[in-house]
Amino acid sequence: MMDAKKTDTLHAALAYQAARQPDHPAILSEGRSLTYQALHQESNRVAQALLASQVGRDSRVAYLGKESERYWELAFACAKTGAVLVPVNWRLTPDEVHHILADSGTELLVVDEGGRAAAEGVRDRLDRLETVVLADDSEDGGAGWVGWTASHTDTDPGSGGDRESAVVQIYTSGTSGRPKGVVLPHRSFFNVAEAMEQHSLDWFDWLPGDRSLIGLPGFHIGGFSYAMQGFNAGATIVSMPMFVSSSALRLIRELRITTAIVAPAMLQLLFNEPDANPACFQSLRKVVYGGSPISAPLLEQCMKMIDCDFLQIYGSSETGNFAACLPPEDHRQGNPRLLAAGRAYPGITLRITGRDGKPVPPGTVGEVCVRSPARMLEYWRRPDATAETLVDGWIRMGDAGYLDEDGYLFVSDRVNDMIIVAGENVYPAEIEAALCAHPAVLEVAVVGIPHPRWGESVHARVVLEPGQRVTPRELMLSLRGRIADFKVPTSYDFAAALPRNPSGKVLRRTVRGELAEKTPPVGR
C-alpha cells in the first residue's frame, strides 16, 4: 500500500514507483519498453525542457498525436512543473484543432508527424503559441523531441502543484457544439481508488505484474484516467497509438495482457477477427468497458470467448473519474441489471432530479446528477457553463435516467443527445450547423441510431429549402475537411418538416423513434 500523504499527486506517485520498482516496465509501446526509473528520469528531462521554454505553472501544453511513451512522459512532465496538459484528438480537422489551442491559450505544442500538417495550418493564427516540438525522432535539430530534451538534466524540478492543482484539461463538446475545456486536478486520479481501498472493494483492483491494455484514447477521460490509475499502482501500461483490433488481439496474446479498458464496439471488433478464439484471451482477468451498456448478444460472446470479470463504468470528463460501476457479479445472462450503468463508487453519490432540481423517488426518470470528490475544477474560462453544470457540489450529467430501489442507475436517454460512435463522443448541434451551411438545406436533426459494429452511427434527417434537391453523397462531401470523419453522418433521410414540441424545440427523440420503426435509412 502506498503512503497517501506522499503519493497524492501524479508526480509524487511516479517518483514513489520509480524508487520502489525502478526496473519494472511502466510502458510498453510499439515494441519499446520504458521502466519506471526511465519514465521518471525522462519525464524529468522533459520537465526541464518545458521550464527552459518558459513554460511553468498553469501554462497550457498541448499534445496533438497518437499515444506513445512520449505522450505519457509529457503528461508527467506537466505534473512536475505545474503546467496543464491539453490532449487534442488527432482525428479533428484543423479548424477544430485551432479552436482548442486558441481557447486553451496553449503556449507549447507537441505534435507527431501525423498531426504536423494540422499544426502548421493553424500556427500563424495562435498568438500565444511560442514553441512547437515534433514528437517523432527527426532530423529537425532543436525542433525534434531528442534535440529539445537532450541537453537537459534528469533532475526532478520539484515545482509541481498539490492535490488541488490543475494537471490536465480535456476538451468535451456540449449541446452548443463548441468544445469546452474540463480542468481536472491531481485529486481526480486518486479519490476513487482510495475510497475503494478503504471499503475493501476489488471492482478496480491492481495486482503485481498486471499488464493493462489502454484501448480508449488518452485524449478521453476514460483512457487517461485508467492509465494514470495503473501508473499510480505500479502496473505496466500497454499504450496503443490507436485501437486496431488485429493489433490489439496480437498484443493481448503475445504480451499476456491481464486487464483492458475498451468500448463495447471494440470487443465486437476483437471477436470478429478471423483468428480470434478463447485461447487468445486466456491471460485476461478483467475487462473494463464504458461508453454504453453491453448488449445481451455481445455479452454472450464475451462469456464464450473470455473467462474473466467484466465491469461497466459510467462517468464523464466533468466527474474527473468513473462515478458508477456495474460490478462483475451483475454480468450474468438474464440479469435485468445488465441494462444498468451501475451503482455509485464509495464516496460518490448519485441522485435523480426533476425539472425543479429536487430529487425524485426511485424509478422516476429525471436528470442524473453526481456528487464526487474527483469532480472538475471548472470549465476553462466558462464561468456561466461551470455554474450551470456544477450546482451546490453536484454535477449535472446531461443524462436522463432513474435509480432503482437498490441504487442502480439506469440511463434511459441522453438529455444532451450525445451520440457515441465506437467510443467517440459526437454532438448533434455541431453536425447540424455544418449541414445547414449547405445552400440546399433548411434545417437538420442529427441523431444516433444502433449500429451492429460501432454501437451507434450518425444519422441526419434533412429538410430542404423549397425547390432544392441534393443527394446524401453531396451532403457528405460538403462536410469533408470541416468536421472529423467519425462525425460525418453515414445515413440520411429527407422530410418536409422536423418534429417539434409546443415551444418549437426539435424533438430528436421522436426522430429516433420513427427511424426505429422504419426500414434502414438511405446510406451514402
- Domain map of the chain by residue range? 1-24+33-162, 340-414, 419-523
What is the Cα 244 distance to its own chain's centre? 17
Mean pLDDT of the chain: 90
Cell of 363: 424509478
Q: CA 116 to CA 6: how far, in whole Å?
A: 39
Cell of 460: 441526419
Cβ neighbours of residue 57 under 8 Å, at least 6 residues apart? 81, 82, 83, 159, 161, 165
pLDDT value at position 520? 54
Cβ neighbours of residue 52 under 8 Å, at least 6 residues apart? 152
* Band of pLDDT at residue 176, cut at 50, 70 and 90: very low
* Band of pLDDT at residue 4, cut at 50, 70 and 90: very low
Entry pTM: 0.85
In 3D, which of 314, 252, 312, 319 has the Cα closest to residue 283?
252
Which has the minimum average pLDDT: 196-200, 283-287, 333-337? 196-200
If DSSP codes are grouped into helix, strand and coil, which group holds residue 35?
Answer: strand
CA dihedral 98, 103, 107, 112 (to 10 degrees): -40
* Band of pLDDT at residue 416, cut at 50, 70 and 90: low
Give me the amino acid identity at 424: E
* Band of pLDDT at residue 481, cut at 50, 70 and 90: confident
pLDDT value at position 303? 87
pLDDT value at position 169? 98
Q: Kindly report, residue by residue over 379-411, the tens digit of the pLDDT.
A: 999 999 999 999 999 999 988 889 999 999 998
pLDDT value at position 490? 94
Give the pLDDT mean for 139-147.
70
In 3D, which of 67, 108, 3, 342 has the Cα closest to residue 227?
67
CATH 3.40.50.12780 fits 1-24+33-162, yes or no: yes
Q: Please classify residue 165 by burial: count the beta carbons closer than 10 Å to its beta carbon, then call 0-12 exposed, 13-18 middle and 19+ buried.
A: middle
Alpha carbon separation from 476 to 152, 173, 186 (Å, rounded):
49, 22, 41
Checking if the pLDDT of 3 tops 60, the result is no
Q: Kindly report, residue by residue over 43-61, the tens digit of the pLDDT.
A: 999 999 999 999 989 999 9
Per DSSP bridges, beta strands 522-523 and 259-262 are unpaired
Checking if the pLDDT of 501 tops 80, the result is no
**What proportion of the chain, given as a percentage, has pLDDT over 70?**
94
* Band of pLDDT at residue 204, cut at 50, 70 and 90: confident
Cβ neighbours of residue 409 under 8 Å, at least 6 residues apart? 314, 324, 340, 341, 342, 343, 344, 350, 368, 401, 402, 403
* Band of pLDDT at residue 143, cut at 50, 70 and 90: low
pLDDT value at position 503? 46
pLDDT value at position 6? 56
Q: CA 271 to CA 273: how far, in whole Å?
A: 5
In 3D, which of 169, 213, 112, 193 has the Cα closest to residue 378?
169
If DSSP codes are grouped into helix, strand and coil, which group holds residue 368?
Answer: strand
Checking if the pLDDT of 67 tops 80, the result is yes
Give the pLDDT mean for 436-456.
91
pLDDT value at position 179? 85
CATH 2.60.40.10 fits 340-414, yes or no: no
Cell of 524: 451514402
CATH code reported for the domain at 419-523: 3.30.300.30
pLDDT value at position 178? 73
